[in-house]
Amino acid sequence: MEKAFELVRNGTVKPVAPIKVFDYTEMEQVFRTMQEGKHIGKMVFKITPESVVNAAPQKRNSLNLDPKGTYVLVGGLGGLGRGMALYFAEHGAKNIAFISRSGATSLESKNLLQELHSNDINATAYACDIADAEKLRTTISQITHEMPIIKGVIQAAMVLNDSLFENMEYENWIAATRPKIQGTWNLHSFMPPSLDFFVILSSRSEERRVGK
């Protein structure tokens, strides 16, 4: 450091020059100039309240769900389930089946079903542990008979055991992984083969606690 500062003090090392300052609005022009490789020194940007950067908006693919199909949301009917169900309803879904271990027993889940019904959505909750193959087979058969053909599945089932991996008991490990491993495999085995999508959700908390 002493040698470096000495070089600066005696003028051996000097700031880069020339420095040309451009407004952010001129970003495209500056990058094109850099591509040509003919500039000398450095080009820097300044930003002001009047600066404008033109950018092409990202094209978003519109989601159009089949109103004649059924979309299955596996997991709780809490915040995440509510968000997905309302999102599906906004994009054309008219039939939504929830699968969870407890079904619609909580006030929150009952309110969600009522909210969907008030918006002319055929929503039903089924109590089933998806890790139990026979129970899931029966539940899917029931959904198939009571609702239109299943077109899509969101697998969001989970059991959260709040402990570090090295401190986790074997029983807790099994409880946390069964919904994701056996449960997902059972869904794959028993759902119709003609699904439009099969999405599996995870979370950082699960990965941190049972994945390492």
**CB crowding 32-47: b at 16 or more within 10 Å, else e:** eeeeeeeeeeebeeee
Mean pLDDT of the chain: 87
* Residue 31 or 202, more confident: 31
* Residue 43 or 79, more confident: 43
pLDDT score recorded for residue 208 = 41
Task: Pick the closest to residue 180 from 209, 137, 152, 151 (CA basis).
Answer: 209
Q: Cβ distance 42 to 68 under 8 Å?
A: no
How far separated are the first and last CA of the chain, in Å rounded? 43
3-state DSSP call for residue 96?
strand
pLDDT score recorded for residue 108 = 84
pLDDT score recorded for residue 196 = 95
If pLDDT is split at 50, 70 and 90, which confidence band does 162 have? low
3-state DSSP call for residue 60?
coil
Residue-wise pLDDT tens digits, 59-111:
777 889 999 999 999 986 777 888 899 999 999 999 999 999 888 888 888 88
Q: What is the mean pLDDT of residues 121-129?
A: 94
| pLDDT above 70: percentage of residues in the chain | 93
Q: What is the mean pLDDT of residues 38-64?
A: 83
Residue-wise pLDDT tens digits, 146-157:
999 999 999 998
Q: Cβ distance 133 to 186 under 8 Å?
A: yes
Rg (CA), the chain: 28
